[in-house]
Amino acid sequence: MSLPIVEMLAAEKTFPGGVQALAPVELSVRPGELIGLIGPSGCGKSTLLKLIANLHTPSAGEMRWWGEDFTRVGEAGRRLSFVFQDPTLMPWADVATNVRLPLDLDGIPRDEARARVAPALAQVGLSHAADRTPAQLSGGMRMRVSIARALVTRPDLLLMDEPFAALDEFTRNRLDEDMALLCAQGGLTTIFVTHSLTEAAFLSTRVLVMAPDPGRIHAEYAIDPTIVRDEAFRLSAEFAAICRDLSALLNEVSHARAAADA
């Protein structure tokens, strides 16, 4: 079995002031996985993602990157990209320049950086829009630019925090299908947070259902990675069954919370 990209070994997070956002978590992320995090508000989804991104340090436990402790791997050695709900593009710069930004910041020679932008734009279907500015793009296109900017560094791991939440359902479904294809074809390993059970069911090869107070992984649900994620899958009985199962797991979490509140 291949080495995990990321391991969380009893990693937990308590914020100053005493809020235990995450109880000790055991998680192993293997190459090619597409992991969806779902659960009620405040159950620690973003905190878990930020621990993996090294935007938070764990209060206890260990984080490993390709088997090495995070503290021994420099930022440059941890090849990961983060996509947020807000694409945060430079409004004055064209699409190609926006996508090139992380390469410029890394000091990659201009010619090499330019050569890497074209395939990243092609991956997200935006080759025709390289010269446009963000104001000339739809919301879905802006999100595609943000994804291309994340892919251009060729990350080992892509993290996405509610990436498509602000988009209409049609655009969101299209982006979900494209993301699934990108991950399947490019072997891209991804962890994403979503409030949408159907999005988690559609995209993930593994869903982590989280529970609050304190935040923790309540259940793990595996989905056959060989399933082709397309419109036919979305309409299938198999997809409906996955959604039902996930819904039941989320109900367990809300019932436990209601019982605790009673």
Residues that bind ligand ATP (CB under 6 A): 15, 17, 19, 21, 41-47, 215
Of 12 and 177, nearer to ligand ATP (C-beta) is 12
Of 83 and 126, nearer to ligand ATP (C-beta) is 83
CA distances to 16, 129, 200, 241, 247 from 197, rounded to whole Å, are 32, 32, 5, 12, 7
**Token reading at 127:** 């080759």
CB of 220 to ligand ATP, least distance (A): 17
**What letter represents residue 58's amino acid?**
P
Angle at CA of residue 78, ends 183 and 39, nearest 5°: 55
CB of 244 to ligand ATP, least distance (A): 22
Of 20 and 97, nearer to ligand ATP (C-beta) is 20
Around Cβ 147, how many Cβ atoms within 10 Å?
A: 25
CB of 197 to ligand ATP, least distance (A): 13
CA 64 to chain centre: 18
CB of 145 to ligand ATP, least distance (A): 24
Integer Cα distance of 60 and 99 in angstroms: 36
Of 58 and 215, nearer to ligand ATP (C-beta) is 215
